[in-house]
Amino acid sequence: MMTVREHFDRDLQGLSLSVMKLGSYVEEALRKALAALSNQNVQQAEVILAEDAKINKLQLEIEDCCVSLIAREQPVARDLREIMTTIKVASNLERVGDLAVHLAKATKRLAGKPYIGSFKDIHKMAEIGIGMVHDAVDAFTEQDGTKACEVARRDDKIDSIHDALIQELLASMHKDDEQIEMSTSLLFISRFLERLGDHVVNICEWVVYGAEGTHVDLNS
């Protein structure tokens, strides 16, 4: 017969596996969204919009399990930190999933309109962000605060590309009125991807808290 502690550890492991599954869903949604946007594939964009429900559902299930564990087990110290970290990580992953939805909606809105040269930077930002999501979930699973800090540092690259892209697009809009609509849309998409990086940094901060018990600001 399993002890109370063994039951609790099994439940914690189950939560970790659920977060891994959620991270996989979100990473897949982002990759599909990037492909749909790159190829202006409206049908694929519709699939992403429909599949967002499973991300939302799993995030709520994780949250409910965490609340139930807290109420039932009244955990303290490291165990409570682990549960709180799980709630925060799942919440931020769900928000990243929402950004995939924004990309899918942009795909539908921009279908048939030629992208300007700046789109290559959009693609680069997205690839960096997707890699960050994958590695941040790994850091959570491994309870590796050092790895989380390394992942968070990659957000500087996203921010750098975003800042340069803003200047490039504003210059394009100033030179050519016909580029205003596309440039404005790409500005919004760039902002979505900049927020993606911020959400992953939030995840990394919570991973450090869960692993080490200290609050850190990885945006500085």
pTM of this structure: 0.95
The list of the chain residues with pLDDT below 70 reads 1-2, 4, 220
pLDDT of residue 103: 97
Contact 3, 40 (CB under 8 A): no
pLDDT number for residue 187? 94
pLDDT tens for 52-74 read 999 999 999 999 999 999 998 88
Closest CA to 12 of 210, 215, 189: 210
pLDDT of residue 28: 97
User: Quick one: pLDDT at residue 174?
Assistant: 82
Task: Extract the tokens encoding 181.
Answer: 């609509």
Q: What's residue 199's pLDDT?
A: 97
Boundaries of every domain in the chain: 4-212
C-alpha to C-alpha distances, 69 to 38, 55, 63, 72, 136, nearest whole angstrom: 43, 21, 10, 5, 24
pLDDT for 122: 95
4-212: which CATH architecture?
Answer: Up-down Bundle (1.20)
Q: Are 32 and 46 a contacting pair, CB within 8 Å?
A: no
Helix (H), strand (E), coil (C) string for the chain? CCCHHHHHHHHHHHHHHHHHHHHHHHHHHHHHHHHHHHHCCHHHHHHHHHHHHHHHHHHHHHHHHHHHHHHHHCCCHHHHHHHHHHHHHHHHHHHHHHHHHHHHHHHHHHCCCCCCCCHHHHHHHHHHHHHHHHHHHHHHHHCCHHHHHHHHHCHHHHHHHHHHHHHHHHHHHHHCHHHHHHHHHHHHHHHHHHHHHHHHHHHHHHHHHHHHCCCCCCCC
Residue with tokens 């799993």: 58
